[in-house]
Amino acid sequence: MNLVFLGPPGSGKGTQAARLAAERHLVHLSTGDVLREAVKLGTELGKQAESFMKKGELVPDNLIIGLIEDRIKRGALREGFILDGFPRTIPQAESLKEMLEKHSIALSKAILFDVEDEEVVRRLSGRWYCPPCNAGYNYPAQMPQSDGVCDQDMTPLKRRPDDEESVVRNRLEVYKKQTEPIIGFYRQESILTKINAQQSPDAVFQSLLKEVA
Ligand code: AP5
């Protein structure tokens, strides 16, 4: 099963992708996670991506397409995968189609996580994470036992710089202008499915399981 997860920031793509990938033994490829790791390590990709990410803008298509092409060439997407946060523009969607066709790989579904803007702002202003172990928390629904520190290793929690409200609002605008057009692209390919992502994480997962049954 080869899936694309689409949706605005904070719609739960990452949360659901991690859970489904674990249950179905799929490769979970999040371009956001790859880019954040590159920024942390100070690689050439990270240096080029950082200023765009801080402002909530998209990283240029050529960098992202190159990254995915590299993964496909290395065989990372041969056994079933979830692409989380890619593609995000029409050129990315078209390149993905070409790259997969070249390797005789077909997408099974593009799943759109549908959620309202104010819910996105609420979720992302409550998101905290532990820098070394990456454990995620969300205030007030999923708080650590001790305020501000990770349950696993007691490290002080941090927020993603792009979760600051003004940046989140820009990310939502960027999503509407640059990413929403690919909904039509996948509708035309007859593989688009929409899920109500405004429910609890467990209810969203149940809806997702029905779609991939
Ligand atoms: P990326 O990391 O992909 O950010 P995003 O799409 O904005 O996704 P988020 O991680 O914020 O949200 P999500 O939908 O995964 O939700 P999550 O499960 O985390 O990209 C970051 C940046 O990298 C981009 O802005 C861009 O600069 C660059 N980039 C990445 N890919 C690119 C590309 N293809 N092209 C160009 N640039 C690219 O959940 C969010 C929070 O809500 C969590 O705290 C979670 O616990 C909570 N939550 C989840 N589900 C629920 C629920 N059902 N109810 C309540 N809370 C929930």
Query: What separation, in Å, do the N-terminal and C-terminal C-alpha atoms of the chain show?
Result: 10
Q: Indicate which residues carry an active-site annotation.
A: 13, 88, 127, 160, 171
Quick: pLDDT tens for 135-173: 999 999 999 999 999 999 999 999 999 999 999 999 999
**pLDDT attached to residue 12:** 98
Q: How far is the CA of 140 from the centre of ligand 1 (A)?
A: 18
Nearest CA to ligand 1 atom 44: 127
- Per-residue pLDDT averaged across 171-176, rounded? 98
**pLDDT attached to residue 154:** 96
For the CA of 32, the nearest atom of ligand 1: 2
Measured CA to CA, the distance from residue 157 to residue 66 in angstroms comes to 32
Quick: pLDDT tens for 72-82: 989 888 889 99
Instruction: Output the pTM of the full model.
Output: 0.96
Q: What is the DSSP string of 52-117?
A: HHHHTPPPPHHHHHHHHHHHHHTTTTSS-EEEES---SHHHHHHHHHHHHHTT----EEEEEE--H
**pLDDT attached to residue 78:** 85
